[in-house]
Structure 1
Amino acid sequence: MKPIFRRIAVIGKYREPVAGAAPASAQQIIEGIVQFIIRQGCEPTLEAETAASMGLDGYHTLDVDGIGGHCDLCLVVGGDGTMLGVGRRLAGYGTPLVGINQGRLGFITDIPLQGYEAALTAILHGEYEEDVRPLMQARVMRGDTCVFEALALNDVVVNRGSTSGMVELRVEVDGVFVSNQRADGLIVASPTGSTAYALSAGGPMLHPSIPGWVLVPIAPHMLSNRPIVLPDASEIAIEIAGGRDISANFDMQSLASLQHGDRVVVRRSAHRVCFLHPRGWSYFSTLRKKLRWNEGGS
């Protein structure tokens, strides 16, 4: 039986080269995965910066946009943070992603490095669970001008600086006024991001199949300001009404120094990210492992 994916990209977690070389272990991991792909009868492509930073020569390379236009599948080697960045950049191409985790089990990079061959062999031959996640599209509007625009897979966060006081925010949903909030900030999270910063701020976990956002205040001045779940067809607008050193964060992308009157507008993107998991993968199994449910029980 031949693999159903022929052209497979590999993107690794890397740092900018220090003294001209990456750690040998990282190089060996990526090269081992590339050689595995070749043994499966598939065509490997290394993301260009991954290859350059790890000193891997002699392989076909493309930038991320080239991978989106050329490859059938992308293997992301790293953690959830690496996957977030790759997912945003490849979402417009519809390229499915598989995560190989170099450390602890991730929420979306769930194949452990040890023994990845068996899981990948099955996926390459069509034995997998498909997991489609929505993306958020966010804009920062200054009057009628968009001064920043980004996609986010996890969340959009408006918050205060490390030394300033509370921020004052005016929140609208679909043009309807919801509330004025004084807090350390406000999180708009997708179901994927509901288990990240939003969870630590007291928000609920949303199953990935729920078409919703969760709006979570960070340390609100009024305890009656509670998290709320909204349909992801809604447009959420957060206006900066007061405070200093206010910033907006879109996953790991940041815009500092928001001004009074700026509006952070969040809506559902037209693009989605498709993750492939080993057959038998379960969202609840991931929660049990990551959140250590049932530990200490009988």
Structure 2
Amino acid sequence: MQTGIVAQRGNPRAASLADELRHALGDRDVAVRIDESTAAALDLEGAPIETFDDCDLVVAIGGDGTLLFAARNADGTPIIGVNLGEVGFLNAVSPENAESAVLSAVEGIRANDLSVREAPRLVAQVDGWESNPAANEIVIQGERRGHGGGVDYEVRVDGSIYTGSHADGVLVATPTGSTAYNLSEGGPIVHPDLEIAIVNEMCARDGMPPFAVDLDTEVTVSVTGAGPAIITSDGREPHEIEGPAEITISRSATPMRIAGPQSDFFEALGKLS
């Protein structure tokens, strides 16, 4: 059995906890991979994060951002999050309970009865290119925001036009991502148990309100004007396209799989204020 450990970069507390978990897992005959940045901080040999997708379990130590970083590379591997951050919608395990939670997950895997929660992800496709799955949101935007920037676009939902205008951009968010970029753009908060995606225009000139659609709906964002536009997945790996172009956004076949105890959604919400 193999467990990968990813710790928040530049956080000595996270690195120290990673080292403690490494020893605890080793004592139970579990092979451990540590991401290269954390391993360097501990004077150990690390493994590329891209190889963590063939682990049996991944442990992410930090905030929700660290867990999302791990999820992008671990793909569908179960992830357990240890919360060193502020809010913790995804990371439900406290540092004090980290060892017991991780070892319990290991035993669950060995007994073939590990309980996981699945959080949907989204992918964008255009001209044969496909984004990495996004746990929070897919964004299509201009090269820059504000006056003189943005994109001309049209949004269709299962083929029917919903809106079209000029805006800084358009985002499509998962329930997980409803409390992230979507919220800062005036979108609604969605309970994680709902099978909903949110279509949200960013500072549109003549836009429509944010629109909740079924997660299995196909959303098409057409960049109607000439010139460049940028597609990002969870704010990373920007992919530049030239308009006019049609981007399709749909549910990823592989969800994010979260192990361990579940955070209290409403308690985490209270930390946003």
Q: TM-score range by the shorter chain?
A: 0.7 to 0.9
Q: Which residue of 2 aligns with 1:260?
A: 243
Aligned to 1:183, which of 151, 167, 172?
167
Q: Does residue 272 of structure 2 align to residue 291 of structure 1? A: yes
Q: Which residue of 1 aligns with 2:53?
A: 68
Any unmatched runs of 5+ in structure 2? none
More deviation, 109-118/260-269: 109-118
Per the alignment, do residues 24 and 277 of structure 1 end up closer, same or farther by CA in structure 2, a change over 3 Å counting? closer
Residue 67 of structure 1 deviates from its aligned partner by 3.3
Q: Does residue 97 of structure 2 align to residue 109 of structure 1? A: no
Q: 1:87 aligns to what SS in structure 2?
A: helix
| TM-score, scaled relative to structure 2 | 0.84
Residue 228 of structure 1 deviates from its aligned partner by 0.7
More deviation, 197-206/105-114: 105-114
Residue 48 of structure 1 deviates from its aligned partner by 4.8
Q: Which residue of 1 aligns with 2:260?
A: 277
Aligned to 1:136, which of 114, 122, 132?
122
- Letter paired with 2:83: N
The superposition leaves residues 218-264 of structure 1 with CA deviations (integer Å, 9 ceiling, x where unpaired) of 122236x1011111111111111237663222113243543221222
Q: Does residue 219 of structure 2 align to residue 231 of structure 1? A: no
Q: For the residues of structure 2 that align with 1:113 and 1:32, how far apart are their CA atoms? A: 11
| TM-score, scaled relative to structure 1 | 0.78
The RMSD of aligned alpha carbons is 2.8
Q: Does residue 82 of structure 2 align to residue 82 of structure 1? A: no
Q: For the residues of structure 2 that align with 1:256 and 1:64, how far apart are their CA atoms? A: 21
Q: 1:150 aligns to what SS in structure 2?
A: coil
Q: Which residue of 2 aligns with 1:247?
A: 230
Q: For the residues of structure 2 that align with 1:73 and 1:146, how far apart are their CA atoms? A: 32
Q: For the residues of structure 1 that align with 2:114 and 2:87, how far apart are their CA atoms? A: 18
Q: Which residue of 1 aligns with 2:133?
A: 151
Q: 2:258 aligns to what SS in structure 1?
A: strand
The superposition leaves residues 114-162 of structure 1 with CA deviations (integer Å, 9 ceiling, x where unpaired) of 44334444444449863211111112x2xxx324533211101122304
Aligned to 1:9, which of 4, 10, 20?
4
The superposition leaves residues 73-127 of structure 1 with CA deviations (integer Å, 9 ceiling, x where unpaired) of 1111122222112212222xx3210011233242112223244334444444449
Q: Which residue of 2 aligns with 1:95?
A: 77
Any unmatched runs of 5+ in structure 1? 1-5, 16-22, 293-298
Residue 56 of structure 1 deviates from its aligned partner by 3.5
- Letter paired with 2:200: V
Contact 2:226 2:242 in 1 (8 A): no
